[in-house]
Structure 1
Amino acid sequence: MSRVALVTGGSRGIGAAISIALKGAGYRVAATYAGNEERAQAFTEVTGIPAYQWDVSDYAACASGIARVEAEIGPIEILVNNAGITRDAMFHKMTPEQWSSVIDTNLTGLFNMTHPVWCGMRDRNFGRVINISSINAQKGQMGQVNYSASKAGDLGFTKALAQEGAAKGITVNAICPGYIGTEMVRAIPEKVLTERIIPQIPVGRLGEPEEIARCVLFLASDDASFITGSTLSANGGQFFV
């Protein structure tokens, strides 16, 4: 029987591309979404991938949601922590709510989602945890102290947890996308994209969500069983670590 994959924030943008790619590769896939029920329902109608609503910043909601997915589809063997938010502001204007909401979703959300599936992965001696971080975790970004801190925390989470899972057949890796052509990025004024953003990218274009999805497919596969604690940068050469 095919393995079960759960993708948080999996009904839109990069997450949707990941969900679709995993299903195309033969996984049984479930996606989560936070609030846009209409979009999630449309996604399910088009793809056949079930979408479940909960807030990844709420541990109890994650635990109960995961239990429902496992009861309906099967034990989660591939977890893609993709859900994330931004609340951008210059630091001197940043509010405690802008800080905490981003940290709670983008960093604590990894704990909330991974912790309930971890023991099952250990018991089965197999698991894949793939965390979608960001180029801004690696280089920082003005106006995104909260986001950069949260995504950098994801990398520390990845490296530490990888050491705990290795002997149990569980790999934990991260992907740091650069500028990807999602709806949000393509909504940036064309002048800003063409004059300020794309010139920073040596390959001369935005990435595509499907390119990040292919990174996930590799890390989820048996071919990647010797890779753990790693960060895969997919940014068109914009930043090297």
Structure 2
Amino acid sequence: MLLAVDAGNTNVVFALISPGSNPGQASTIVARWRIATDPRRTADEYAVWLNQLLQLEGYQRSDVHGVIIATVVPKALHNLTVLAQKYFGGDPLVAGEPPVEWGIALDVEEPQSVGADRALNVIAAHAHHPGDLIIVDFGTATTFDVVDYSGAYKGGIIAPGINLSLDALVTAAARLPRIAIEAPANDSVIGRDTVSQMQIGIYWGYIAMIEGLVARLKAEVGRPAKVISTGGLAVLFEQHTAVFDAIEPDLTIQGLAMLWERAHMP
């Protein structure tokens, strides 16, 4: 089994992956867990938490034969590396570093600044979907990534995530309550009370932003482009917009599995 670790700004996702039984066969995610990102969390704390979760799923630490890590939080890497070394028996692979470089063209002005999660999304999306792509990733930030038909990353957009937008609104306006992020009860955009007006502004406003930016990206690409949605909040929007052609909630983890397999190809 492979333990893939995606350390984001808000959560660290751990995924237990069973490799394909034959060369070229897709890997399978058999379990996934997430914990709030905290660079101060020690390897020992991670190990206690993970050990319990592995047992609940019917696995042991000894079932894990390798670890691969991607992180956009550099301070979190040390303790995750110690976790792999101390509790899983070896040095982890780190996405983007030898021997698991990206293997794709980062056709942007500052390729070194491209986040690990975005590069992994590009790798996995291009492997699953031919042609030009627009990847929308709902995380701490909402990112839009443009991938051409050759698999090259061409750039994109970074926008505030929906939770960040709500937090900023509630923090700055003393009389506005904290609300759940969910689809309003109906399609009306005329709110009749404070809570419904906030839900409309956050939810339908966010969908309008997504649809508007995707339309502008498609126009600039100038060729048909498939729109792929990923990230923890992807399913929140799929029922109320036709902008997405596919929902792939595990693109980042799939990209990690692909890098691992590439590094271990004979």
TM-score, with structure 1 as normaliser: 0.41
Write 1 or 2 for the structure with the bigger share of helix.
1
| Greater Cα radius of gyration, structure 1 or 2 | 2
Indicate the structure with greater strand content: 2
| Higher RCO, 1 vs 2 (CA within 8 Å, ≥6 residues apart) | 1
